[in-house]
């Protein structure tokens, strides 16, 4: 088995601070918090504490937070919950596939949608919309890490924070927002939906009561996500420096490389495409040297599929390598990776 010395893959194991507490969380989090017995009351208290932790980190009120057992469901709830029959839905060519699915459903219902183009840095051009319209606004792209400009319009806004997480909170007004626990090294399969304008939102799912979400999330995972978040925020962060070092090395040491990531984007993501190599062979070669990286689309089930994000930006889609710089990545790991990348590219181009 290949020993990985530096993991630059997007998927990450649960934060070390939460792992030893999992057994305790499953012991404490089994009771239904809506019942009146003592165990249920204790669970309800724990959930309220978790809700307050998320509220403090996300700069929202506790009552604006809903927990989800399926992150992707949040796209349907957050977007469709704002739409009315007269609304036009705006989204961009670099949005996630789940946003495309919501837009396709609107089109099937005969409603109006507009897919906005982006420039080479993934920035959406200026556009106009009405106060009844809904716009999906990606705070940061999950492949390039590039930040979207601050939104300035009167439309109802769904903020996609699934990639940016707490590393870059929305700097604009929004009505709904979606966060993915895995963005702060929390457990997968747990999401946070923020509903800031309850009067402008309605539950788009079939329901018989006043519930806003299905409520089928795992309480132990909510507890684990809260612990992961608190510890993630406490950790030191030199990722911006490491990103600059990687980009500078690539520009100076490797020829014919297209870097899709801007210097002022999220520090944790870098995407670049190298001419004259096959991405799958590069991934395997780097893995043999102890470095795990990604390639292709970040939001499709088949990871090696060409990136619709790079295509929309007019960037090369072949020879693509994606790096996620986690907080435990060191300068030495980066220096060693850069040398491994240089030798890998030279070897693949030679052959």
Q: How far is CA 202 from the centre of its chain?
A: 24
Average pLDDT of every residue of the chain: 93
Average pLDDT, integer, range 60-81: 97
Q: What is the CATH number of the domain that holds 256?
A: 3.90.1150.10
181 exposure class (CB count in 10 Å sphere: 0-12, 13-18, 19+): buried
Q: Verify that 197 and 252 share a domain, yes or no.
A: no
Among residues 234, 264, 296, which one ends one of the domains? 234
Q: Please give the pLDDT value at position 154.
A: 79
Q: What average pLDDT does this structure show over 113-141?
A: 95
Instruction: Between 188 and 151, name the one with better pLDDT.
Output: 188
Q: Is 192 helix (H, G, I), strand (E, B) or coil?
A: strand
Residue 233: Cβ within 10 Å count: 14
Domain CATH for 137:
3.40.640.10
Mark whether 198 and 119 lie in a shared domain.
Answer: yes
The answer on 240 and 219 residing in a single domain is no
Same domain, 116 and 190: yes
241 and 219 in one domain?
no
Listed residues 214, 234, 254: the one ending a domain: 234
Summarised one tens digit per residue, pLDDT across range 303-347 is 556 799 999 999 999 999 999 999 999 999 999 999 999 999 999
Q: What are the pLDDT digits (tens) for 40-54?
A: 888 889 999 999 999
Say yes or no: 158 and 25 in one domain: yes
Percent of the chain with pLDDT over 70: 97
Q: Is residue 1 part of a domain?
A: no
95 within some domain:
yes
- In the prediction, which pLDDT does 82 show? 97
Please tell me the predicted confidence (pLDDT) of residue 301. Answer: 41
Predicted local confidence at residue 211, as pLDDT: 87
Of 156, 200, 195, 189, nearest to 177 by C-alpha is: 195
With 70 as the cut, is the pLDDT of residue 31 above it?
Answer: yes
Domain that holds residue 279: 6-12+236-350
Q: Which pLDDT belongs to residue 209?
A: 83
pLDDT given at position 300: 52
More confident residue, 286 or 3: 286
The predicted structure's pLDDT at residue 151: 85
Please count the structural domains in the chain.
2
- Is residue 58 one of the residues assigned to a domain? yes
Using the 3D structure, point to which of 201, 234, 267 is the last residue of a domain.
234
Q: Can you give the pTM of this predicted structure? A: 0.94
| Rg (alpha carbons) of the chain, rounded to whole number | 21
Claim to verify: residue 225 and residue 214 sit in the same structural domain: yes
pLDDT band at residue 298 under the 50/70/90 scheme? low
pLDDT of res. 39: 83
Is pLDDT at 302 greater than 50 in this prediction? no
Same domain, 283 and 209: no
Whole-number Å distance between alpha carbons of 257 and 130: 41
């Amino acid at each position: 088995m290949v020993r990985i010395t530096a993991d630059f893959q997007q998927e990450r194991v649960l934060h070390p601070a939460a792992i030893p507490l999992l057994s305790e969380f499953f012991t404490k989090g089994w009771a239904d918090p809506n019942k009146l017995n003592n165990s249920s009351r204790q669970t309800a208290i724990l959930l309220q504490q978790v809700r307050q932790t998320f509220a403090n980190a996300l700069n929202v009120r506790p009552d604006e937070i809903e927990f989800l057992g399926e992150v992707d469901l949040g796209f349907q709830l957050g977007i469709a919950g704002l739409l009315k029959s007269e609304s036009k839905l705006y989204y961009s060519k670099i949005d996630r596939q789940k946003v495309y699915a919501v837009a396709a459903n609107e089109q099937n219902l005969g409603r109006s949608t507009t897919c906005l183009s982006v420039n080479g840095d993934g920035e959406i051009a200026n556009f106009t919309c009405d106060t009844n319209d809904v716009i999906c606004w990606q705070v940061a792209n999950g492949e390039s890490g590039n930040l979207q400009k601050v939104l300035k319009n009167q439309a109802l806004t769904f903020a996609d924070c699934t990639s940016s997480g707490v590393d870059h909170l929305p700097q604009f007004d929004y009505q709904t927002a979606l966060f993915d626990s895995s963005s702060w090294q929390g457990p997968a399969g747990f999401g946070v939906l923020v509903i800031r304008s309850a009067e402008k939102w309605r539950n788009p799912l079939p329901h018989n009561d006043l519930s806003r979400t299905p409520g089928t999330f795992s309480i132990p995972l909510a507890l684990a996500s809260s612990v992961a978040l608190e510890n993630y925020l406490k950790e030191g962060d030199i990722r911006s420096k490491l990103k600059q070092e990687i980009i500078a090395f690539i520009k100076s040491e490797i020829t014919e490389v297209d870097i899709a990531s801007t210097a002022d984007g999220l520090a944790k993501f870098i995407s670049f495409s190298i001419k004259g190599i096959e991405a799958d062979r590069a991934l395997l070669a780097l893995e043999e040297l102890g470095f795990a990286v990604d390639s292709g689309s970040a939001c499709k089930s088949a990871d090696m599929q060409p990136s619709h994000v790079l295509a929309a930006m007019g960037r090369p889609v072949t020879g693509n390598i994606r790096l996620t710089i986690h907080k435990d990545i060191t300068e030495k790991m980066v220096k060693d990776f850069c040398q491994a990348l240089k030798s890998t590219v030279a070897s693949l181009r030679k052959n």
